[in-house]
Amino acid sequence: MIENLIKELNPQQKEAVTYFDSPLLILAGAGSGKTRVITYKIAYMIEKFNYEPERILAVTFTNKAAHEMKERVGQLLKGKADVFVSTFHSFCVKLLKSHSVRIGFKPNFLIIDTDDKKSVLKEILKELNLDTELYNPSLIGSMISNVKNGMVSIENFELKGYDRVIEIFELYNKKLKEMNAFDFDDLLLYGKKLLTEHEDIKNRYVDYFRYVLIDEYQDTNAIQYEITKALTLEKGNVCVVGDEDQCIYTWRGANINNILNFEKDFPHAKVVKLEKNYRCSGVILSAANAVIANNTIRKGKKLFTDNEDGEPIRLFEASTDQEEALFVGKTVKKLINTGFKPSEIAIFYRTNSQSRIVEDALRREGINYQIVGGLKFYERKEIKDIIAYMRVILFEEDKLSLFRILNVPKRGLGQAAEERLKKLLDEGYSNIEALNRIVLESPLRQREGFKEILEIIEAGKEKLETLKPYEFIKFITAISRYEDYLRKEYREDWETRVENITELGNTLEEFAERSGLSGEELYLEFLNTVTLSSDQDEMEDGEKVTLMTIHASKGLEFPVVFITGLEEGLFPHARSLDANEQIEEERRLFYVAITRAKKVLVLSYARSRRFFGSYRPTEKSRFIDEIPSHLIKPVSRKTSGEKTQASSVSSISSRSSIKKKPKIVFHKKFGKGIVKRVEGAGDTAKVTAYFANFGEKTIVMKFLKVLA
């Protein structure tokens, strides 16, 4: 069967699928069928060479990609193939579950997320009486992450004036150990430790996995590189797939040299280039090739396609960022009216802060949208609270979750009560032991509050094995009086928050059905999965335009792509302008953005953009000029859409004639008014106007209509 399927592949894809004589590097250009090649290679091993599926390890970078890969292999083999497909982090979680005792941790460990990490650091800074402006928890968290990922030495930060950072680092690790917890970086760090410092463990996995595939190899960091070498260097049973032209994560540790030096690290390695693009139109692909050819740090390949040339790339020069956003909104609406589905359209920007102005424009046009990388489902307060209750029930060392739910809902436990509990926990008592002791010793009011928490934990432990997941979530919500709390504290949207908790129950039910797990094992696995989820894992189904940073778009494709804010200092970003290597990474990022588009590509920039409350002139991005001019069709303002009230208010704020000729605006409630002054520009401008029956009012421009 697989032999027939292989006939569908092009010659380079077929070579990549069938080659096993030495380590293999597949240089897979954008849209070249990379996932197809990986899944066919796995299916080929299983059917042609009778490899046991569970002894093939395939590693990629998101849970979504891992799930898709596993599913596609199953489809190829007409049944479920239990291939070990995972992310690096998930693979290390499995390693640690089996061997955590070898590094001094219990098997049922806790994985803390970014918010938890910040909470631990805040506690440490308070204990050490350090200035949180200098030792900002987010900044210190990034420092710790960079150290753990091998990007920099902790001593380097001391040289930059953070003379207590080593003390913080050591105390942070000590507190995690006390909680039997790992942060994201620890998963890789300790996973590598098990494979490089424990020969028997390494040999066990080297012998077990007959073949290892690593996807997105250009994005591997120093620790992931060491894990790959530990598992495969001796046997050479490795295939890595990647594209150096899409290496866009060096700022978080990715090392482009891992893919550039593969043949040095793995002697006798073979290289296969996948250069036929199946995704983009001829015009879009020509633009991508022209742009990336300006980079010097690359192995070199030129993509080609049999697709039609398609329409030229559209380029819009706006006078302001407001006008740019309005152009995007109106163009999206036109595209939808001509037959494109909202889900086929994506709007990219370099930084998250650019989304707000685009959101305003889409809302004005009545267009539904989703933000990938915004506030995700599992980051919502009510979800984090209920999950904290779950974690307190499951993990006796989870102090973070215990303090999170201590007064949610309010239980009359003030700072003195918290300090009393903290003291006991610091002395080495578990959560349950500390709560039991404090119930015996506390004043009556405190006693009742602590007793209630203790009863919730004990009741929850009893129900873990007997209630279905959905009912268990309902039980936690009821016994904690959490719905009553939402009714009192969030009167405007408490029902929506309750619906989110209901959806958490639904999600758990689906997870139970998919995994086949139940009871404590189910909840432990679910919490691990939730903590390791990525931005793309949160993408919703349905007809919505997608907004995202270009970094978040990696691996995706859309028929229509907008790339906004193409200005020097924004894209390429200001932080990259001083170093050629960083400019090359920004260019790779632009290349990634271009190659997400299948049919329509729209570029835009503004001649002035608001910074810190006032407009400043900008300069067009150098990357636009790297696209051959014959591939581009400029969009004039006349064809981009009729004059809008936002552009009208821009003119209000910039004309001195306002003092000579009254400007008239209309408001639904106040009627006609004469403009006296304008602060700012665009839809968010504050307009002060005099209304005959209501006097002087200051109103945001989007609620006004300009009459004259």
DSSP 312: P
269 is in an annotated binding site: no
> Is 596 labeled as catalytic in the residue annotation?
yes
Separation CA 109–CA 398 (nearest Å): 10
Q: Which of 14, 18, 35, 229 is catalytic?
A: 35
Sign of CA dihedral 375, 569, 601, 320: positive
> Is 35 labeled as catalytic in the residue annotation?
yes
Bridge partners for 57 per DSSP: 84, 212
Could you tell me if 610 and 365 are in contact, meaning their C-beta atoms sit under 8 angstroms apart?
Answer: no
Spatial CB neighbours of 705, under 8 Å, sequence gap ≥ 6: 645, 665, 666, 667
Could you tell me if 54 and 84 are in contact, meaning their C-beta atoms sit under 8 angstroms apart?
Answer: yes
- Encode 365-374: b = buried (16+ Cβ within 10 Å), e = exposed: bebebbbbbe
DSSP 656: G
Question: What would the two tokens of residue 471 be?
Answer: 């009912």
Q: Which of 113, 183, 216, 537 is catalytic?
A: 216
Q: Which of 116, 215, 244, 398 is catalytic?
A: 215
Q: Which of 12, 13, 34, 544 is catalytic?
A: 34
Tell me how long the chain is.
708
3-state helix, strand, coil in the chain (%, to 5): 55, 15, 30
Phi, psi of 353 (to 5 degrees): -65, -15
Sign of CA dihedral 459, 464, 467, 470: positive
> Is 622 labeled as catalytic in the residue annotation?
no
598 is in an annotated binding site: no
Spatial CB neighbours of 386, under 8 Å, sequence gap ≥ 6: 473, 476, 477, 482, 501, 504
253 is in an annotated binding site: no
The CA distances from residue 698 to 111, 646, 670, in Å, are 49, 17, 11
Spatial CB neighbours of 687, under 8 Å, sequence gap ≥ 6: 649, 652, 665, 675, 677, 678, 698, 699, 700, 701, 704
35 is in an annotated binding site: yes
Q: Which of 587, 596, 598, 663 is catalytic?
A: 596
Task: Give the number of other Cβ atoms within 10 Å of residue 550's Cβ.
Answer: 22
Phi, psi of 702 (to 5 degrees): -65, -15
Separation CA 467–CA 471 (nearest Å): 6
29 is in an annotated binding site: yes
Could you tell me if 344 and 314 are in contact, meaning their C-beta atoms sit under 8 angstroms apart?
Answer: no
Q: Which of 246, 250, 305, 446 is catalytic?
A: 246
Could you tell me if 35 and 68 are in contact, meaning their C-beta atoms sit under 8 angstroms apart?
Answer: yes
> Is 55 labeled as catalytic in the residue annotation?
no
Separation CA 506–CA 623 (nearest Å): 46
DSSP letter string over 150-189?
Answer: TSS-HHHHHHTT-TTHHHHHHHHHHHHHHTTEE-HHHHHH
Phi, psi of 56 (to 5 degrees): -105, 125
671 is in an annotated binding site: no
Question: What would the two tokens of residue 148 be?
Answer: 């753990």
The CA distances from residue 181 to 191, 197, 399, 534, 630, in Å, are 14, 21, 10, 20, 57
Residues with active-site annotation: 34-35, 215-216, 246, 596
Q: What are the binding residues for ATP?
A: 28-35
Q: What are the binding residues?
A: 28-35
